Amino acid sequence: MTEPAVASDTTVPGVTTVPGVKTVPGVDRTHVRPACECRNLSVDLESAQGTQRILAGVDFEVGEAEFVSVMGRSGSGKTTLLRAVGGLLDPATDSTVTFHGQPVLGPPDGVVFVFQNYAASLLPWRTVEKNVALGLEGKVAKAEMHQRVAEALAMVGLADRAKDYPWRLSGGMQQRVQLARALAMRPRALLMDEPFGALDAMTKGALQDELQRVQERTRATVVFVTHDIDEAVYLSDRIVILEGGPATVAHRIDVNLPRPRDQLATKELPEFLRLRRQVYDAIVHRDD
């Protein structure tokens, strides 16, 4: 895919230019090829009360190299949607889920999950580099595996910790290891379920910026579940809000903020504050 041009003198409608932060035009989504698509997606899950419909008639799509956050109140089906997109849940028979045009009948090649519980996702008896290599073992030659692991660790700033064990690392570093393991697979799409939710504010901000840089370099499609409104606005090209029981898509909000984004300058933009308020109102129904 051709890299979009980045120009410091480009003006985004409704966005104030900030010195030191380059501005890119909003995405023209009429020309973005779809990566993940759900049509009339319904999902039933078993519970103590019997079969419950969690999602009903959801239409959801993510373009190639797009970053889409999924939000909604607790229990609104965000993780269920993510798992259906990734082929971990079977939808109802009248639903359609595709990845690059192919029906999703199980986890598609090129789709990798990153979860919130980084500690449970890493094997404590393996070094950092061996944890990162886990998904490649037996699938690629050793030389290629070592190269991919080294590249992934460099991308997340952990090249000098390859021989350490996870228990020697901070929580933020452990989450970087999990992200590196995903990147070593060279994914076409990352499905991320509140990956920074358990981290302190400073560590979360650093990893948000790391994720921005990684996506810009790899052009991976990202579907990102979060409860954090600031995080969603800061990272996303688009925010999708689920609502109802069973849930469906209630709001789609485009985020046309300058890229690359900055933790201070971006969050001081009038457009950032407007979007933050718009998302908050949509979730808590302040606009009713």
- Report which of residues 49 and 186 the model is more confident about: 186
| Domains identified in the chain and CATH numbers | 34-110+187-284 (3.40.50.300), 124-185 (no CATH)
**Edge-to-edge, what's the strand order for the sheet holding 111-115?**
111-115, 189-193, 221-225, 67-71, 238-243, 248-254
Structure confidence by residue, pLDDT tens digits, 144-183: 999 999 999 998 899 999 999 999 999 889 999 999 999 9
Confidence band for 31, pLDDT divided at 50, 70 and 90: low
Amino acid at 200: D
Place of tokens 């889409």: 68
Structure confidence by residue, pLDDT tens digits, 235-245: 999 999 999 88
**Smallest Cα–Cα separation from 21: which of 32, 6, 33, 31?**
6
Q: Is the pLDDT of residue 21 over 50?
A: no
What pLDDT score does 30 carry? 55
Q: Is the pLDDT of residue 101 over 50?
A: yes
What pLDDT score does 29 carry? 55
Structure confidence by residue, pLDDT tens digits, 7-18: 333 333 333 333
Alpha carbon distance 154, 214 (integer Å): 11
What pLDDT score does 22 carry? 36
* Mean pLDDT (the chain, rounded): 86
- Give, in order, the Cα–Cα distances in Å from 182 to each of 33, 95, 137, 149, 236: 23, 28, 13, 10, 20
List CB contacts of 117: < 8 A, sequence separation 6 or more: 198
Q: Is the pLDDT of residue 23 over 60?
A: no
- Give, in order, the Cα–Cα distances in Å from 43 to each of 48, 104, 121, 152, 194: 17, 14, 26, 35, 21
- As a whole number, mean pLDDT of residues 85-93 equals 89
